[in-house]
Amino acid sequence: MTAQAAVTTSTRRPVRRRISTGWTLLWLNVFLTFVFLYAPIIVMSIFSFNASRQMQVWMGFTLDWYVRMLHDERVRVAAENSLIIALVSTAVSTVIGTLTALALERTRFRVKSLYEGAMYLPIIVPEIVMAIALLVFFNLTFQGLDQLFGLRLNFGLGTITIAHIAFSFPFVAVVVRARLADFDRTLEQAAQDLGANDWQTFRYITLPLLMPGIIAGALLAFTLSIDDFVITFFNAGVGSTTLPLEIYGRVRRGITPDVNALSTVLLLASMLLVLSSLALQRRRSS
Amino acid sequence: MAIVEQIGPSERAVTWRERLGDAVRQREGLRALLLAGPGGAWLLFFFLLPTAIVFAYSFARRGPYGTVDWTFTLENYVRFFDWLYIRVFLVSVWLALLTTLICLLIGYPFAFVIARSPRRWRNALLVLVLIPFWTNFLVRTYAIMLLLRSDGLINNALQWLGLIDRPLTMLFTPFAVVLGLVYGYLPFMILPIYASIEKFDFTLVEAAQDLGANTWQVFWRVLLPLTLPGVLAGSILVFIPSVGAFVTPDLLGGGKVVMIANLINQQFLTVRHWPFGSAVSFVLMAIVLAATMLYFRIGETRRI
């Protein structure tokens, strides 16, 4: 059917496209897929305004769940934790990721292919494996520090942030590297011909031209951090609950409408983040 | 004296040149170290070393109270061959394969339509695919959970229509898990296939038709083989996160559908048998690596 459709368009393009059964079915597939992709999140958002405690029957519009959420101490703490972790993790992984991209694209060293391969590992390895690996590592390190120096450390915001940086910076490196790969190097040569030294060339030519890639990488790192559940779940401690952990905890305890409100807010936040990054990239490229 | 003076400058020149070369080389080495160092160090300490520890744990024994006893043993890997755990392994691979197949059946025609639609629509359609994908995975899984519950919207609608009298059990079944996985990873299938169909030269279709090929022949012999790289990339991108999925089987399977990641979770947080949990983690890593290698192997043979 797909091929038939291909044939109709390519051979009769000048003529107005005849609506064949093939195309009808193809567009039906597109339509149903979009329904499948959007229906669950739209239904969830709608029911976050439902006045009933019993969730799937519409009892009228209310903002109660949102008001309740605003006054919820646990939600406030979780939101603060999520934000602190995401901001620190984004800042560090953007810097490390950009340096890594420059290393991969602009320098030569002996173990480079090994280094490059290793960089992709956190992207490929299943989240759960990375999560328990970090859990085991931190546990062992803390035990060692306690025995050797009597230093008592524990799981918390620190361990979560370190873990987030570990899985975010390779993504930043990939994004920045793509930007570096189609980079007009003659601009740098021109700057050097005009007497700029290495640092000046980097500061005034390379960095500004790389900026869209770096910003896109930073936004990606922020989204990855805010959204992460699995790795956070295994490396969190007492009092370091993030928004996804809070939602998970509530869902496990039994579904109540306040989870809908919280989820809808998180959903809108990440959508806004992605759309602004898209708009930013579009404005930069045009 | 004269001889010494003659040798002197030339010797000095050599050392100068050497020193300059050394300095340049050192500077380049230093720059490489400064650029590659932070990423390398972070990866070493917070990824490679932890993974190595898990690997070591997988050959250790479980001590009392969930501690680890460092005596070498293969019993954790042997234990995995117990039917109880082999079943978990088979269920995971089977559900991941099913997810991949469903994503392919929906995703290929979907990508085809986008790639053949007017240029100004394409980006909008792609963004529409990506928007839900970029939102929180846990939230999306929860949204599916809401729909599938026995007092959820689907059951309510079906009962209201009079199609069923008792609510269907959809949540906590393999069906729910596959649905959640397809929902989560479908864009991973659509994007690479879209990229390869978009590059496809559609005059080849006309050529095949002129040579007498019918619709199916054009699809099977021309379009599909030439867009196979996209199909393979999409399949691997869906299979890998599906086989290692944790949140989806945890929430939508509700303990009734146990996949490898749930087994690992259980061994680490509930049973506290860390060595066995580590061994299971390495089995999962092996599956993922095997799938990745298979992908590259197929890619290579196809290029020849």
Compute CA distances A35 → A39, A127, B125, B268, whole Å.
5, 29, 13, 38
pLDDT for position B6: 46
**Residue A161 and residue A19 share a domain:** no
pLDDT of residue B293: 87
Q: Is residue B64 part of a domain?
A: no
Distance of CA A154 to the CA centre of its chain: 26
Q: Which residues of B touch A100 (CB under 8 A)?
A: 35-36, 38-39
Nearest by CB: A29 against B109, B203, B209: B109
**Chain B hits for A115, Cβ within 8 Å:** 36, 40
- pLDDT score for B277: 93
- Segment B211-219 shows an average pLDDT of 87
Q: What is the pLDDT of residues B155-193, one digit of tens each?
A: 888 888 888 888 888 889 999 999 999 999 999 999 999
B109 and B240 co-located in one domain: yes
Query: For residue B43, is it within any domain?
Result: yes
Q: Distance between the two ends of chain B, CA-based, in angstroms? A: 70
Q: Which two tokens stand for residue A84?
A: 């602190």
Same domain, B115 and B241: yes
Is residue A54 in a domain?
no
Q: Is residue A117 part of a domain?
A: yes
Q: Please check whether residues A138 and A18 belong to one and the same domain.
A: no
Residues B15, B153 share a domain: no
**Residue to test with chain B: of A47, A129, A265, most B Cβ within 10 A:** A129
What's the confidence (pLDDT) of residue B177? 96
Regarding whether B80 and B51 lie in a shared domain, the answer is no
Contacts of B53 in chain A (CB under 8 A): 133, 136-137, 140
Within this chain, do residues B111 and B230 fall inside the same structural domain, yes or no?
Answer: yes
Decide if B111 is inside a domain.
yes
The total number of structural domains in chain B stands at 2
Whether the CB of A227 is below 8 Å from some CB of chain B: the reply is yes
Considering the domain architecture, whether residues A19 and A135 belong to the same structural domain is answered as no
**Residue A56 within any structural domain of the chain:** no
Let me know if residue B69 belongs to a domain: no
Domain that holds residue A6: 2-47
Are residues A217 and A162 part of one domain? yes
Q: Which residues of B touch A104 (CB under 8 A)?
A: 36
The reported pLDDT for the residue numbered A285 is 57
Q: What is the pLDDT of residue A19?
A: 65
Does residue B260 belong to any structural domain of this protein?
A: yes
In a domain, A58, yes or no: no
**Smallest Cα distance from B19 to chain A, Å:** 20
Q: Is B50 in the same domain as B121? A: no
Residue B25 within any structural domain of the chain: yes
Chain B contact for A126, CB < 8 A? yes
Look at chain B and count its residues.
304
Of residues A66, A51, B170, B45, the one with CA closest to residue B37: B45
A41 shares its domain with A84 = no
Residues B48 and B169 in one domain: no
Residues 6+ apart with CB under 8 A from B81: none
Query: Half-sphere exposure (CA, 13 Å, Cβ side) for A11?
Result: 15
How high is the pLDDT of residue B94?
97
pLDDT of residue B21: 64
Which residues in chain A have Cβ-Cβ distances shorter than 8 Å to B243?
A: 126
> Which of A3, A108, A251 lies closest to B216 in CB terms?
A3
Q: What is chain A's pLDDT, residue by residue, as a tens digit (286 residues)?
A: 444 444 444 444 444 555 688 888 889 999 999 999 999 999 888 888 888 876 667 788 888 888 888 888 889 999 999 999 999 999 999 999 999 998 988 888 888 888 888 888 888 899 999 999 999 999 999 999 998 998 888 899 999 999 999 999 999 998 888 888 877 888 888 888 898 888 888 888 888 888 888 988 898 899 889 989 999 999 998 888 999 999 999 888 877 788 889 999 988 888 888 787 777 666 655 4
| pLDDT recorded at residue B1 | 40
Do B98 and B48 fall within a single domain?
no
**What phi, psi does A83 have (nearest 5°)?**
-70, -45
pLDDT value of residue A135: 95
A17 and A133 together in one domain: no
Confidence tier at B19 by pLDDT (50, 70, 90): low
Pick the residue from chain A with its C-alpha nearest to B187.
A37
Per-residue model confidence (pLDDT) at position A163: 96
In this complex, do A33 and B114 lie within 8 Å of one another by their Cβ atoms? no
Please check whether residue A104 lies inside any domain of the structure: yes
Q: Which of B12, B28, B57 is the last residue of a domain?
A: B57
Q: Give pLDDT, residue A248.
A: 93
What is the token pair recorded at B260?
Answer: 């490898």
Q: Are B142 and A44 an interchain contact pair (Cβ–Cβ within 8 Å)?
A: yes
Asked whether the beta carbons of B227 and B196 are under 8 A apart, the reply is yes
Cβ contacts of residue B47 below 8 Å, gap of 6+? A118, A121, A122, A130, A133, A166
A20 occurs within a structural domain: yes
ipTM of the complex: 0.84
Helical ranges in chain A per DSSP H: 2-11, 21-47, 64-70, 73-106, 112-124, 127-149, 157-181, 186-193, 198-201, 207-227, 230-235, 243-253, 257-285
Tell me the chain B residues in contact with residue A47 when contact means C-beta distances shorter than 8 Å: 146
Q: Best interface-test mutation with A: which of B34, B57, B104, B139 has the largest number of A CBs within 10 A?
A: B139
Q: How many contacts does A have with B, using Cβ atoms within 8 A?
A: 263
Residues A268 and A147 in one domain: yes
Q: Are residues A120 and A254 in the same domain?
A: yes
The pLDDT score that the predictor gives to residue B12 is: 52
Q: Does A153 share its domain with A235?
A: yes
Position B66 in a domain: no
Mutate to test the interface with A, among B65, B138, B266 (most CBs of A within 10 A): B138
Provide the number of structural domains found in chain A: 2
Residues A42, A69 within the same domain: no
Per residue in B40-90, pLDDT (tens digit) is 899 999 999 999 999 999 999 888 776 788 888 899 899 989 999 999 999
pLDDT at B279 over 80: yes
Share of chain B above pLDDT 70, in %: 90
Distance from CA of A214 to the nearest CA of B (A): 15
| B145 and B292 belong to one structural domain | yes
Same domain, B141 and B287: yes
A188 domain residue, yes or no: yes
A95–B contact, CB cutoff 8 A? yes
Give per-residue pLDDT as tens, B235-266: 999 999 999 999 999 999 988 999 999 999 99
Query: Residue B35 — pLDDT band, cuts 50, 70, 90?
Result: confident
Q: Is residue B65 part of a domain?
A: no
* pLDDT at res. A15: 46
Question: What does the alpha-carbon distance between residue A217 and residue A172 come to, in Å, rounded to a whole number?
Answer: 4
Distance from C-alpha of A266 to C-alpha of B138, rounded to nearest angstrom: 10
Instruction: Provide the pLDDT confidence category of residue B284 given band limits of 50, 70 and 90.
Output: very high
B118-144 burial: b if 16+ Cβ within 10 Å, else e:
eeeeeeebbeebbbbbbbbbbbbbbbb
Distance between CA atoms of A175 and A222, rounded to whole angstroms?
14
Domain limits for position B36:
2-57
Question: Under an 8 A CB cutoff, do B36 and A266 touch?
Answer: no
What per-residue confidence (pLDDT) applies to B25?
Answer: 66
Better-scored residue on pLDDT, B21 or B58: B58
User: What is d(CA B255, CA B264) in angstroms, rounded to the nearest whole number?
Assistant: 13
Residue B112, domain CATH: 1.10.3720.10
pLDDT at A5: 47
The answer to whether residue A52 sits within a structural domain is: no
| Same domain membership, residue B284 and residue B179 | yes
Residues facing B129 on adjacent strands: none
Chain A residues within an 8 Å CB radius of B58: none
pLDDT at A12: 45
Same domain for B81 and B39, yes or no, is: no
